[in-house]
């Protein structure tokens, strides 16, 4: 896109009452201080954006004028092959028009924004505007016109080990996501490794407390011998034990039956001796013979029922006593054999405890092997993430170098610092323009203008947008390279305001 100015008409704008500017390849504006040279640059940006050349909102009225004075600025510009007349009138309120047709503020803003980006235009129009932005905005604007190096270009500049690690990963994840993934994995695995290491130490301490000198084979043989001896004893005494348990059971049942038989006798005696009540329990009247006979029958029935229970209990007692009589007399336990039995049980318990210790030691050794394998696996994964993080750092550093080289190759006297190295080896985004090794803030006025013009040329080529450039305070420089677009030069000269249009053919402007 090629933008050029054809003509600008000004009325009551700052210190200009009426002024017409016809633009050429080069438009010289010369005059004393306060003659209104800078105001011509402000008038351009005012009609476009309502600001001065630095993008700051301004009051366009001449100093000392009241609200009745009408400020008017018209700019005829050419965008590629299209001519557009933009106008802005300011009294109490602002009015706008495009090609002499009144338009609302929103509409004229849409038209101007559709022609060119505001920040880009101001950066191309005013050599100092770019540097008034925050460094992050400067960086963003410049990088928006310069593509980052491709991953394969960066990888080509890394050691083969880093290439082999990163290349397949970058096909699945972006660099930022890959770094987040492995930083998180490293953090988690680092904690897991600490826990796994503690587990190994704990298990080894437990093993060290166990006795490794016990012969497991001999231990099992001793247990087998004692177990056989115990089994033989139990086989010999199994009948005696069974008879003893049966005798105890029958004796307990015999005593229980005797008590139950006595209770049945007491019940029968109570039924026999109870007094027959020959009166109604409800109304108290004497019962007739039939009713009395019925009561006696009921009592006899109860007696018979309880008597049957007693007979059954007596028969069961007889059977229990017969079984007791059939049992052989109890055999007294051999004291020596009983003592040996106690000793066998004690020895078996001790040997089984030792065997349990051996088995637990085996389990601990297996757990240690598993824990050490887990520890090794965690350490391996942790270290792989650490190596990959280092490779990502190298990738970023190499990409930064290539990016800086790519941008520096666009300039002649300017260099750009895009990154700064931190103490931990990581890099942090920054932005600073230097000219001939000096930071922009340390440059003289002439050097700043030249740096701005060189930057404008690069921005213009990269964005493929050409605009006029307004160089104010040009008296501080003797010569500078001709820009791609129109140039408007304001210079302090001891004379009345004069505007001169010049058609340029040569490559440099010499004054």
| 459 within a domain of the structure (yes/no) | yes
- pLDDT score recorded for residue 211: 58
Identify whether the C-beta of residue 74 lies closer than 8 Å to the C-beta of residue 13.
Answer: no
Torsion over CA: 255, 256, 260, 266 (sign): positive
Tokens of 446: 């002439």
Q: What is the gyration radius of the CA atoms in the chain, in angstroms?
A: 56
Cα torsion through 220, 224, 225, 226, rounded to 10: 100
pLDDT at position 507: 43
Residue 74: what pLDDT? 96
> Is 266 within a domain?
no
**Residue 100: inside a domain, yes or no?**
yes
What pLDDT score does 26 carry? 92
Q: Lowest-confidence range among 40-54, 239-253, 386-400, 422-436?
A: 239-253
If you average pLDDT over residues 79-88, what whole number do you get? 93
Nearest to 193 by CA among 14, 392, 331, 376: 376
Mean pLDDT over residues 350-363, rounded? Answer: 81
Residue tagged 């001939």 (tokens)? 436
CB 28 within 8 A of CB 509: no
The first and second tokens of residue 399, run together, are 């990409």
Q: In what order do the strands lie in the sheet with 414-421?
A: 414-421, 427-435, 438-439
Inside any domain, residue 236? no
Indicate whether 409 pLDDT > 80. Answer: yes
Q: Across the strands, what pairs with 19?
A: 10
Provide mean pLDDT across the span 450-466: 92
Output phi, psi for 291, to 5 deg: -65, -40
Say if CB 48 and CB 117 are below 8 A apart.
no
CA angle 169, 171, 173 (to 5 degrees): 65
- pLDDT at site 478: 67
pLDDT, average across residues 75-84:
93
Short-list 471, 346, 440, CA closest to 138: 440
Asked which of 1-10, 272-281, 294-303, 491-500 is least confident by mean pLDDT, the reply is 272-281
Look at residues 127, 155, 147, 138 and name the one whose alpha carbon lies nearest to residue 417: 138
pLDDT for res 333: 62
Inter-CA distances, 259 with 58, 109, 410, Å = 122, 117, 121
Q: Could you tell me the pLDDT band of residue 367, with boundaries at 50, 70 and 90?
A: confident
Q: How many domains does the chain have?
A: 1
- How much is the pLDDT for 351? 85
The per-residue pLDDT of the chain, averaged, comes to 86
Q: Tell me, what's the pLDDT at 45?
A: 95
Tracing tokens 């440059």 back to the chain, one arrives at 443
Backbone angles phi, psi at 382, to 5 degrees: -60, -45
Does residue 273 carry a pLDDT above 70? yes
Token pair 């890394």: residue: 158
**Percent share of the chain, pLDDT over 70:** 93
In a domain, 237, yes or no: no
Q: What's 120's domain CATH number?
A: 3.40.50.300
Residue 151, domain member (yes or no): no
- Per-residue model confidence as pLDDT tens digits over 466-509: 999 999 988 877 677 777 899 999 999 988 899 999 887 644 45
Cβ atoms 387, 165 nearer than 8 A: yes
Q: How far is residue 319's CA from residue 342's CA, in Å, rounded to a whole number?
A: 38
Q: Please tell me the distance from the alpha carbon of residue 11 to that of residue 15, in angstroms, as a whole number.
A: 10
Which residues 6+ apart lie within 8 Å of 237 measured at CB? none
Give residue-wise pLDDT tens across range 88-115.
998 888 899 999 999 898 888 898 998 8
Q: Which helix (H) or strand (E) holds 293?
A: helix 289-326
Rounded to whole angstroms, how far apart are CA atoms 286 and 227?
A: 83
Range of the domain at 85: 3-137+442-510
Query: Which residue carries 């501080």 as its tokens?
Result: 476
Query: pTM for the whole thing?
Result: 0.62
Predicted confidence (pLDDT) per residue in 180-229, tens digit: 998 898 898 888 888 888 888 888 887 776 655 667 788 888 888 888 88
Other CB atoms within 10 Å distance of the CB of residue 81: 6
131-180: pLDDT as tens digits = 999 999 999 999 888 888 888 888 988 888 888 888 888 889 988 898 89
pLDDT at position 511:
46
The helix-helix angle for 37-49 and 118-125 (nearest 10°) equals 170
Mean pLDDT of 23-39: 92
Neighbours of 489 (CB within 10 A): 23
């Amino acid at each position: 896109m090629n933008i050029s100015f054809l003509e600008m008409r000004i009325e009551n704008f700052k210190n200009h009452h009426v002024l017409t500017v016809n633009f050429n390849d080069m438009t010289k504006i010369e005059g004393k201080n306060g003659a209104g040279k800078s105001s011509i640059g402000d008038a351009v940006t005012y009609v476009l954006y309502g600001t001065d050349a630095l993008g700051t909102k301004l009051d366009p009225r001449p100093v000392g004028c009241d609200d009745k004075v009408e400020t008017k600025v018209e700019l005829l510009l050419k965008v590629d092959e299209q001519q557009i007349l933009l106008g802005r009138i300011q009294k109490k309120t602002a009015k706008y028009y495009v090609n002499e047709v009144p338009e609302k503020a929103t509409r004229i803003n849409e038209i101007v924004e559709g022609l060119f980006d505001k920040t880009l235009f101001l950066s191309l129009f005013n050599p100092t505007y770019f540097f008034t932005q925050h460094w992050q905005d400067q960086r963003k604007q410049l990088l928006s016109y310069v593509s980052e190096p491709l991953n394969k270009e960066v990888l080509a500049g890394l050691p083969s080990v880093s290439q082999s690690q990163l290349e397949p990963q970058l096909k699945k994840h972006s660099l930022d996501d890959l770094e987040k993934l492995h930083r998180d994995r490293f953090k988690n695995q680092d904690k897991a490794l600490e826990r796994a290491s503690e587990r190994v130490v704990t298990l080894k301490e437990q093993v060290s407390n166990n006795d490794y000198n016990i012969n497991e084979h001999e231990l099992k043989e001793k247990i087998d011998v004692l177990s056989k001896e115990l089994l033989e004893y139990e086989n010999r005494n199994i009948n005696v034990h069974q008879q003893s348990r049966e005798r105890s059971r029958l004796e307990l049942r015999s005593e229980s039956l005797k008590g139950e038989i006595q209770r049945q006798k007491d019940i029968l005696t109570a039924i026999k001796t109870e007094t027959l009540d020959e009166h109604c329990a409800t109304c108290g009247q004497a019962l007739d013979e039939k009713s009395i006979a019925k009561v006696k029958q009921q009592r006899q029935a109860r007696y018979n029922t309880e008597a049957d229970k007693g007979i059954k209990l007596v028969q069961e007692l007889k059977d229990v006593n017969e079984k007791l009589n059939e049992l052989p007399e109890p055999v007294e336990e051999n004291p020596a054999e009983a003592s040996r039995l106690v000793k066998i049980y004690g020895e078996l318990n001790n040997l089984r405890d030792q065997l349990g210790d051996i088995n637990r030691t085996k389990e601990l050794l297996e757990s240690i092997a598993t824990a050490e394998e887990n520890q090794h696996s965690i350490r391996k994964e942790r270290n792989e993430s650490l190596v990959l993080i280092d490779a990502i750092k190298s990738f970023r550093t190499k990409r930064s170098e290539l990016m800086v080289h790519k941008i520096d190759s666009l300039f002649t006297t300017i260099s750009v610092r895009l990154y700064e190295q931190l103490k931990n080896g990581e890099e942090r985004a920054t932005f600073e323009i230097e000219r001939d090794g000096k930071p922009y803030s340390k440059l003289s006025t002439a050097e700043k203008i030249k740096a701005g013009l060189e930057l404008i040329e690069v921005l213009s080529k990269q964005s493929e947008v050409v605009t006029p450039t307004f160089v104010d305070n040009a008296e501080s420089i003797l010569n500078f390279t001709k820009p791609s677009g129109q140039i408007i030069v304001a210079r302090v000269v001891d004379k009345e305001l004069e505007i001169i249009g010049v058609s340029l053919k040569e490559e440099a402007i010499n004054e």
